Amino acid sequence: MSQTDGFGRRAFLKNAGFTAIAGAVGAGSTFERAAAAAVLEPANGRYDFDTVYNRVGSDCIKWDKQIKDFGKENIQVGMGIADMDFRAAPCITRALQERCQHENWGYLDTPPSYIDAIVKWNKKRYGLEINPETLVLTNGVHPGIIAALKAFSPPGSKVLLTTPVYDGFYSDLDFCHLKAEESPMKLADGRYSIDFDDFERRISHDTNVFILCNPQNPTGNCWSPEDLTRLGEICLRRRVVVLADEIHCDFVTKGNKYTPFATLPNKDIVANSITFKAASKSYSLAAMKSAWFFTTNPDYFARVKANNHVELTTLGMVANRAALTEGEDWLNQVVEYIDGNHEFVESFVRANIPMIKYTKAQGTYLAWLDVSAICDKINAKELAAAANKNLAPGTKPLTAEAMVERHCIKHARVQMNPGSNYGLGGAGHMRMNLATSRKLVELAMTNLANATART
């Protein structure tokens, strides 16, 4: 890769004003060093998450797309899309290197050891019993959910969501020609809860599916057994199938607990559901395109499987199997590290940024920031209305939160995702990804503190 294509890691970071980190990272392009480097094993049993692993020049969305969209001079810290900035777990890199020594890439016959790894992982980590005969591989949680939507929701029908919720669900609904029926959650003292009365009121004759996000992206809720049971009871009574997206399940902060929907004691509730999971969040393997879903309901299994077309890649399977069989210690340490990032952001915001509010998430590696004071201060609604007058026909209108995104990029060089992307209830918020070096988290928060002080 040329220095022009990759921007040059040292040059980029120096231009961004973060010389100390640039020196720690070193010179040369990402791929020149990666090709020559040995697998980085832990020192004294501890993995290094503090050293910045710069991804600029790797064509990643989190950094390179933001640089392309907003200019490299305006992006010092990318904190948008939900993947991690850390080096992969050494067991993954080692497994990939070993497989690449065999220089043939013919068709893959999925080995039973991969299915076995998934089943054992869920049993060991979550106490979740999965019959291998009821587990289906897919190329990602999105393809799996789309297969289920096509099985249960005719075009034009409604799908129930508790909002704010992961914006990717809306694209899945659009792809299947479905309508979102949004049930806004209640917000009190920085914590969200489900409005069960509103949830049930929104179920109509053409509502066949509810997509559950557990833990909830972007609000960070880890739903309790009582919450899940109540949702399950409503859906069972009203003949609504539960699609449980539990991809963020490994990221639970101290004092909180993830409850798999499939472990609820009411077997009828569980049989009215399909669970979707992957190692892609836990080990940052989104590019490897591998996930799975399962259900105890034979009818649901057959209907969704009929819509699921999967073509796993050899390297995707190798990476995921290595993660599930050898990577637990790395994962435990990264979860602990990210918990510390949550703690840091909550305390820093409280002490230094009065225009932002943040209550530590129960789960996920995402911080859901209340920026309503910034919206008001910069007249974000008026700015959006003025900008929308000049939009080309068919362009998605800008929101107040999109103007806050632009403001933070311009004045703090920090990119975050606008809360309006996440449906009803997302107004006045931004989503910040904390799965990165604490040095970058501290830099981002310091930049935001200085920018808001000048606002």
Which of 301, 417, 311, 315 lies closest to 368 in space, CA to CA?
417
Distance CA 271, CA 309 (A): 23
Cβ(12)–Cβ(54) under 8 Å? yes
b/e per residue 85-98 (b: at least 16 CB within 10 A) = bbbbbbbbbbbbee
Both tokens of residue 174?
């659009």
CA angle, residues 7, 8, 9, in degrees to nearest 5: 110
What is the DSSP secondary structure assignment for residue 252, as one 8-state letter?
A: B
- The SS3 assignment for 8 reads coil
| C-alpha 398, offset from chain centre | 23
Exposed, middle or buried by CB within 10 Å (0-12, 13-18, 19+), for 37? exposed
pLDDT tens for each residue of the chain, 455 residues long:
333 333 343 443 444 444 434 433 333 444 444 444 567 788 888 999 999 999 999 999 999 999 999 999 999 999 999 999 999 999 999 999 999 999 999 999 999 999 999 999 999 999 999 999 999 999 999 999 999 999 999 999 999 999 999 999 999 999 999 999 999 999 999 999 999 999 999 999 999 999 999 999 999 999 999 999 999 999 999 999 999 999 999 999 999 999 999 999 999 999 999 999 999 999 999 999 999 999 999 999 999 999 999 999 999 999 999 999 999 999 999 999 999 999 999 999 999 999 999 999 999 999 999 999 999 999 999 999 999 998 888 889 999 999 999 999 999 999 999 999 999 999 999 999 999 999 999 999 999 999 999 98
For residue 207, the cross-strand partners are 158
Which of 153, 171, 42 lies closest to 94 in space, CA to CA?
42
Token look-up 């050899």 returns 314
Per-position DSSP letters for 376-432, written without gaps between them: HHTTHHHHHHHHHTTPPTTPPPP-HHHHHHHHHHHHH-EE-EEGGGG-TT-TTEEEE
Per-position DSSP letters for 269-332, written without gaps between them: HHHTEEEEE-STTTTT-GGG--EEEE-S-HHHHHHHHTT------HHHHHHHHHHHHH-HHHHH
Token look-up 């700015």 returns 383
Cis peptide bond N-terminal to 184, omega within 30: no
Cβ(165)–Cβ(248) under 8 Å? no
Distance CA 296, CA 303 (A): 13
Cβ(364)–Cβ(251) under 8 Å? yes
Distance CA 31, CA 41 (A): 19
**H, E, C per residue of 193-216:** ECCHHHHHHCCCCCEEEEEEECCC
Distance CA 425, CA 429 (A): 9
